[in-house]
Amino acid sequence: MPQCAGILDKFAIIRSMKTEPTEHFQGIDVLTRGDAPRPPFTRPILGSVVAQQLGQLDSPVPQFVLLDPCPEGNEFKSFKAGNWAGWLGAEYGPVRAGGAYAIPDILRPESISEVDHADREALRAFLSRKFENDQKSAAAAGYNAAFARVKGLMSCAPLFDLDRLPEDDRRRYGPGAFAQHALLARHLIENGSTFVMVANGMPWDNHVFQHEMHQMLVPELDNVLAQLINDLEDRGMLDDTLVIAMGEFGRTPWLNEARGRDHFAKAWSLAMAGSGIRGGVVHGGTDERGFDVTSDPVDNRQLFATIFTALGIDPTAEYDLGDLPTFHRVEGGAEPLMSLLKTG
């Protein structure tokens, strides 16, 4: 990754991640929510927590956006529509987009006048609010808040139209969905979004011909990360924007019979740059074969404590859930990795 190597002073690399889940569903759940499930309670995903803590709910620009080349949901269940925001409520769930690089079906049909459209929305809002008040339902309140975002989303829909961005930007990032979504993420953050998650799972889940697949995938990742970091720095945004590049686990240090690599959570790596992060830092290490962590292991709780601290969010805080059991933003009193933080 020669382009990222040239700006390695901007990155902090954790090469001693050691987590539990070895399958996609469980891995994505833990590495996006910070902890294993505790049924029947649903912990909010990282983007929902950041949007709730740092976002502006009254902004017309969505505060949490998920960009996915398969926005209707792919084979991994945890990437299909679900309870993303957990107990924070639907108003902190993501706006999900992708595919054609635009949000479809948001324009008012010509057959409906502005007055008629406004009257319909007023009636819907009245009935929904009445139901919320009569039932004293927190869930209904959350969905009403989510509906309220639709008007704002219609007004900012051009932000999701990549055809409006300079052709040179689109060319620099590259033609693939991941590259174009990373560019769109930069554009959304520039224009008021708080958290943008760019999904790029399917191509990397290669259990066959690992070397050949990586010859196609790694150069794209190298270029996209370098373009994004450089763009944020050039725009004076890097000090206020945290970039995290990671998956839900690593891959085996050995090849299988199909010359691919399978799921491996005992030792894997990730990179961070930007807000609150000290660049040019490498944390932890593995044995020479990458089979196990030999120094400074990091689990999902320590990772999330580090992320929250870098963003100025208290990782030890309790959620206000009334009579429900006690939950913290990070469980178990996990400490952030201070060597990675500018405050450390």
pLDDT digits (tens, 9 = 90+) for 77-116: 445 556 899 999 888 889 888 776 677 777 788 899 989 9
Q: Strand, coil or helix: what is 325? A: coil
Is the pLDDT score of 277 beyond 70? yes
Average pLDDT over residues 67-80: 59
Other CB atoms within 10 A of residue 147 CB? 15
Q: Decide if pLDDT at 177 tops 60.
A: yes
| CA–CA dist 183, 212 (Å, integer) | 26
What b-and-e string marks burial along 220-232, b requiring 16 or more CB atoms within 10 Å of the CB?
bbbbbbbbbbbbb
Confidence of residue 76 (pLDDT cuts 50, 70, 90): very low
- Residue-wise pLDDT for 38-65, tens only, equals 999 999 999 999 999 999 877 889 999 9
What is the phi-psi region of residue 142: left when phi exceeds 0, alpha when psi lies from -120 to 50, beta otherwise?
alpha
pLDDT tens per residue across span 315-342: 999 999 988 899 999 999 999 999 999 9
- Which segments within the chain are labelled E, that is strand? 11-17, 64-68, 95-98, 195-198, 242-245, 250-251, 263-264, 268-274, 281-283, 285-286, 293-295
Q: What are 286's strand-pairing partners? A: 293
Is residue 327 within 8 Å of residue 321, measured between CB atoms? yes
Q: Residues 290, 267: contact at Cβ < 8 Å?
A: yes
> What CATH number is given for 2-101+165-340 in this structure?
3.40.720.10
Question: What is the reported pLDDT for 130?
Answer: 87
**Main-chain phi, psi angles of 283, to 5 degrees:** -115, 125
Sheet holding 268-274, edge to edge: 242-245, 268-274, 11-17, 281-283
Rounded-to-integer distance, Cα 272 and Cα 278, Å: 9
pLDDT surpasses 70 at 202: no
The model's confidence at residue 117, banded by pLDDT at 50, 70 and 90, is confident
Mean pLDDT of 166-190: 95
| Pairing state between β 293-295 and 285-286 | antiparallel
17 contacts 269 by C-beta, under 8 angstroms: yes
Q: Which residue's entry shows tokens 């590049």?
A: 245
Where exactly are the structural domains of the chain? 2-101+165-340
Query: Does position 75 have pLDDT exceeding 50, yes or no?
Result: no
DSSP code for 277: B
Report the pLDDT value the prediction gives residue 101, as an integer from 0 to 100.
66
**What pLDDT score was predicted for residue 72?**
57
CA-based nearest residue to 244, from 217, 272, 210: 272
The whole-number average pLDDT for the span 222-243 is: 97
Mean pLDDT across the chain: 90
